[in-house]
Amino acid sequence: MKHIAIYVRVSTKEQTVENQTVRLVDFAKNNGYTFDLYEETESTRKTRPVKQSLMSKLRNHEYYAVAVYKLDRWARSSRELILDTQELIDKGIGFISISDNLDFTTASGKLQFAILAAFSEFERELIRERTVNSLQRKKAEGYIFSGRPRGAKDLKKRKTEGYFLREARKREMAQPKLVLSPNN
């Protein structure tokens, strides 16, 4: 029996992974896979510790494949998606997106992957263009943007002097020190 990883992700606490989980668990059971479930909640563009942990396990060949609900649940950009899935494919690890009906271990799956990644990037660019156009229109109409709300960190003066020294000390503390015994 093949063992796979199931990865589900949402961006905020208000969202739930339940719909993704139900579909992926059904998929695994219907195809005779055993599985481990990885849930990423409240993720950001740069911090997805659950995904990083899973990638480490995939690199060590602990799973036959990883299954996701949709491609956008795995990656936030087409570049990230392409790099991650190409790495997995090169290592012989399957990547399955059940909503997109894709299995990137086959030649047709690889072709579909390239086409979907291009459309995904196209859609993201359209959204960005619409947002920029909307902001430009509002600015032309005289709308004044206030930026992000002020928070506690904005009320006090931040330390600027000694930054490089503090960073150097942090790195020094993080590195293991070589200790020689007198017998050497």
Q: Which residues are annotated as catalytic?
A: 11
- Residue 157 DSSP class: P
HSE of 118 in the Cβ direction (CA atoms, 13 Å)?
Answer: 6
Name 39's bridge partners. 8
Look at residue 84 and give its three-state secondary structure: helix
Name 35's bridge partners. 4
Distance CA 62, CA 115 (A): 29
Distance CA 25, CA 6 (A): 8
- Residue 145 DSSP class: -
